[in-house]
């Protein structure tokens, strides 16, 4: 009985996976098929693009480019997450501060982060520093604003509880405001992740000699369109993998929010198997 | 009053101080648009007493409780615990909210919720968790400390909220329609729990409720609020002894008399 039920569960998962996979597989297949004999300079056959991608990965040049780019994104995001959450918690906590800061923050957020890349490169020169700075700056806003909103959205009952039980403000921020805002903070980080990837590529177009963005622009400058396409596909894949990883982290951190602790999972599994706890 | 004092005095808890309300009024807003909610309330809750506050909805019961707890400043008059004037939340006062779903932190396990106010008091971790376990056992949840609030039923969540007030060492428990959203059976169990806690700990308990049966069943005295702005229109001393039973007590003729008296006052 139990075997059969879990057998069905596995089958269900496979079916769910297939339901999501058929479209991308079909599109890639279509691309391969349509482009197979292409002589168009700008749209080379997909299998040749993948060939270049594979060769460059095997050579190791592309691997080090990926390492450089991911390093920049990780550093920039880390800075943005720490500063964004810390300042968001403080601004969200104090109504007066929030009212004063809001218009300025909304203006600064409205500046497209990519537009600042050239001046930052001029100011900070080549190397990792300007790239990390640009990524951190662009990712900072969604995290900051979401943190502020999350803290403000803390329920009245929770606020009353904190006051009634005389919880000191620092403890209240750390143990109540932060977790209460965490669902929205994570949503902010998800947006920041997308922004960071865009800025990663763009910042490596200028004054760079490494990274995936450089790999793409180098290909374009040398009219090596296969390389440019390979880099583009790589960035897309990287973005997909990072957001998938992010979902795993989010699930783990917000177990209480999704009501998905190991115990709950266990209970749901038992219920699915038609047995009571 | 004299019979009450006589009954409570032998086992009185010396740490519990009386709660005294003098001339309390509360308005929301200022000037011409101000809405007066409470008008000149006087009230004394002696150590170890259970008081119910009843009144029609919108009579300012919750406003009164918030003023008593120090969450809300009265417009006029004062609230004292012993000699201390209540102008902010007090360490002796524990609050149990109507919205138990919202007042427990969903990201903390039950034991952590109960222990959290002790963290604010600077109690070391091992000690606060031990105290949390003990208080959870006191409210009938010896094995649920590791569960998250959403893994518990409504009645169990409200028990956790009561345990939190006990762990905080509250000598005065303020409860705002604490059992309003629970089913009848669970409500009865929790009412009996409240009375058992008073009997054992000799703490004072003030329960705001719109359920007249509950008000009479729980209380030594029922305060009836009515009017706009609300004032105390009656204080009913409930002479049904300290040991009560959901079936027996409620079938005593006097219980019905108290109930009809309060009902007619509220409707009147």
Are the C-beta atoms of residues B81 and B92 closer than 8 Å to each other? Answer: yes
Residue A246's nearest CA partner among A194, A207, A209 is A194
Chain B residues whose beta carbon lies within 8 Å of the beta carbon of residue A150: none
> Which of B170, B196, B223 is the last residue in one of the domains?
B170
For chain A, positions 164-193, list CB contacts with chain B under 8 A.
164-168, 171, 175-176, 179-180, 182
- B41 - beta bridge partners? B24
- Is B44:B60 a contact under the CB 8 Å cutoff? no
Is B7 contained in some domain?
yes
Last residue of a domain, one of B150, B170, B190: B170
Say whether both B24 and B88 belong to one domain. yes
Residue B251 resides in a domain: no
Regarding whether B88 and B206 lie in a shared domain, the answer is yes
Cα distance between the two ends of chain B: 26
In a domain, B26, yes or no: yes
Give the structural domain span for B205: 2-92+171-236
Phi, psi of A166 (to 5 degrees): 50, 45
Answer yes or no: is B248 within a domain: no
Instruction: Answer yes or no: do B9 and B87 share one domain.
Output: yes
Which residue in chain B is spatially nearest to A177 when comparing CA positions? B105
* Closest residue of chain A to B104, computed from CA coordinates: A158
Task: For residues B82 and B192, state if they share a domain.
Answer: yes
Q: How far is B90 from chain A (nearest CA, A)?
A: 8
**Closest-approach residue (CA) in chain B for A161:** B103
Question: Which pLDDT does position A180 carry in this prediction?
Answer: 93
Q: Which residues of A108-146 are buried (b: 16+ CB within 10 A; e: fewer)?
A: eeeeebeebbeebbeebeeebebbbbbbbbbbbbbbbbb
Q: Helix H segments across B73-183?
A: 100-103, 110-120, 125-138, 154-167
Measured CA distances, B131 to B76, B97, B144, B149 (Å): 38, 21, 14, 18
- Whether residue B144 sits in one domain with residue B202: no
- Looking at the DSSP bridge assignments, the partners of residue B50 are B205
* pLDDT for A140: 94
**For residue B236, what is the enclosing H or E element?**
strand B231-237
Is B117 inside a domain boundary?
yes
Asked whether residue B72 falls in the same domain as residue B175, the answer is: yes
Neighbouring C-beta atoms of residue A236, cutoff 10 Å: 11
Domain annotation covers residue B245: no
| Helix (H) / strand (E) containing A202 | helix A178-203
Give the predicted TM-score (pTM) of the model.
Answer: 0.82
Q: How many domains does chain B have?
A: 2
Q: What residue segments make up the domains of chain A, in order of their start?
A: 67-225+238-251
* Alpha carbon distance A166, A160 (integer Å): 10
Architecture of A67-225+238-251 per CATH? Orthogonal Bundle (1.10)
At residue B14, the pLDDT reads 81
Q: Tell me whether residues B117 and A167 touch, CB distance under 8 A.
A: yes
Return per-residue pLDDT of chain B as tens, 268 residues.
444 444 444 467 888 889 999 998 888 888 788 888 888 899 999 999 999 999 887 788 889 999 999 999 999 999 999 888 988 998 999 999 887 777 899 999 999 999 999 998 889 999 999 999 999 999 999 998 899 998 998 899 999 999 999 999 899 999 998 998 888 899 999 999 999 999 988 999 999 998 999 999 999 999 999 888 888 888 989 888 888 888 888 888 998 999 999 999 888 6
Q: Could you tell me which residues come within 8 angstroms of residue B73 by beta carbon, excluding any fewer than 6 positions away?
A: B67, B87
Q: What is the CATH number of the domain that holds B44?
A: 3.40.50.300
Name the residue of chain A whose CA is nearest to B98's CA.
A157
- Residues B225, B134 within the same domain: no
Q: How far apart are CA A167 and CA B261, in angstroms?
A: 42
- Residue ranges for chain A with pLDDT beneath 70: 1-7, 260-277
Q: Could you tell me if B103 lies within 8 Å of chain A, comparing CB atoms?
A: yes
Nearest residue to A136 via CA among A189, A80, A192: A80
Are B193 and B227 part of one and the same domain? yes
The answer to whether position B268 is within a domain reads no
- Number of CB pairs < 8 Å for A and B? 70
Which residues in chain A are contacts of B176 at CB distance < 8 A?
none
Contacts of residue B164 in chain A, CB cutoff 8 Å? 165
**Domain boundary pick from B148, B170, B192:** B170
Instruction: Give the contacts of A126 (CB within 8 A, at least 6 positions apart).
Output: A207, A208, A209
B255 assigned to some structural domain? no
The answer to whether residues B151 and B192 belong to one domain is no
Round the CA-based radius of gyration of chain A to a whole number and report it.
24
């Amino acid at each position: 009985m139990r075997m059969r039920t879990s057998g069905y569960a596995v089958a269900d998962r496979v079916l769910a996976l297939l339901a999501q996979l058929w479209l991308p597989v079909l599109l890639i297949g279509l691309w391969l098929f349509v482009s197979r004999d292409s002589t168009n300079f700008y749209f080379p056959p997909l299998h040749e693009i993948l060939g270049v991608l594979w060769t460059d990965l095997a050579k190791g040049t592309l691997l080090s480019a990926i390492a450089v780019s991911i390093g920049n994104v990780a550093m920039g995001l880390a800075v943005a997450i720490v500063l964004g959450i810390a300042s968001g918690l403080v601004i969200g906590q104090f109504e007066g501060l929030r009212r004063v800061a809001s218009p300025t923050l909304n203006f600064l957020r409205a500046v497209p982060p990519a537009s600042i890349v050239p001046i930052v490169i001029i100011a900070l020169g080549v190397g990792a520093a300007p790239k990390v700075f640009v990524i951190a700056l662009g990712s900072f806003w969604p995290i900051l604003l979401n943190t502020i909103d999350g803290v403000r959205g803390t329920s009245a009952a929770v606020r009353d509880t904190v006051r009634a039980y005389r919880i000191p403000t620092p403890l209240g921020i750390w143990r109540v405001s932060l977790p209460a805002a965490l669902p929205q903070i994570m949503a902010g980080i998800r947006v920041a992740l997308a922004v960071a990837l865009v800025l990663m590529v763009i910042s490596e177009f200028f004054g760079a000699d490494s990274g995936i963005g450089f790999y793409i622009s180098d290909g374009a400058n040398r009219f090596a369109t296969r390389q440019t396409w390979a880099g583009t596909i790589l960035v897309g894949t990287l973005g997909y993998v990072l957001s998938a990883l992010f979902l795993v982290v989010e699930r783990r951190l917000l177990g209480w929010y999704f009501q998905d602790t190991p115990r709950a999972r266990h209970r749901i599994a038992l219920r699915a198997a038609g047995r009571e706890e | 009053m004299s019979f009450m004092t006589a009954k409570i005095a032998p086992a009185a808890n010396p740490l519990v101080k009386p709660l005294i309300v003098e001339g309390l009024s509360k308005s929301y807003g200022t000037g011409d648009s101000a809405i007066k909610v409470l008008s000149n309330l006087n009230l004394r809750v002696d150590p170890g007493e259970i008081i119910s506050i009843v009144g029609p909805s919108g009579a300012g019961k919750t406003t009164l409780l918030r003023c008593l707890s120090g969450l809300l400043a009265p417009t006029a008059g004062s609230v004292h615990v012993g000699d201390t004037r209540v102008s902010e939340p007090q360490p002796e006062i524990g609050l149990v909210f109507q919205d138990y779903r919202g007042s427990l932190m969903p990201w903390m396990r039950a034991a952590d919720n109960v222990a959290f106010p002790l963290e604010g008091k600077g109690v070391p971790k091992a000690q606060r968790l031990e105290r949390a376990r003990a208080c959870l056992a006191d409210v009938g949840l010896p094995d649920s400390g590791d569960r998250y609030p959403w893994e518990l039923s409504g009645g169990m969540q409200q028990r956790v909220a009561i345990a939190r007030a006990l762990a905080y060492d509250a000598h005065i428990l303020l409860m705002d329609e604490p059992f309003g959203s629970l089913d009848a059976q669970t409500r009865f169990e929790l009412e009996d729990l409240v009375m058992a806690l008073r009997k054992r700990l000799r703490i004072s308990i003030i329960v705001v409720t719109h359920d007249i049966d509950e008000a009479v069943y729980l209380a030594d005295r029922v305060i009836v609020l009515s009017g706009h702005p609300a004032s105390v229109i009656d204080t009913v001393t409930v002479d049904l002894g300290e040991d009560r039973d959901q079936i027996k007590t409620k079938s005593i003729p006097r219980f019905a008399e108290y109930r009809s008296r309060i009902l007619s006052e509220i409707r009147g």
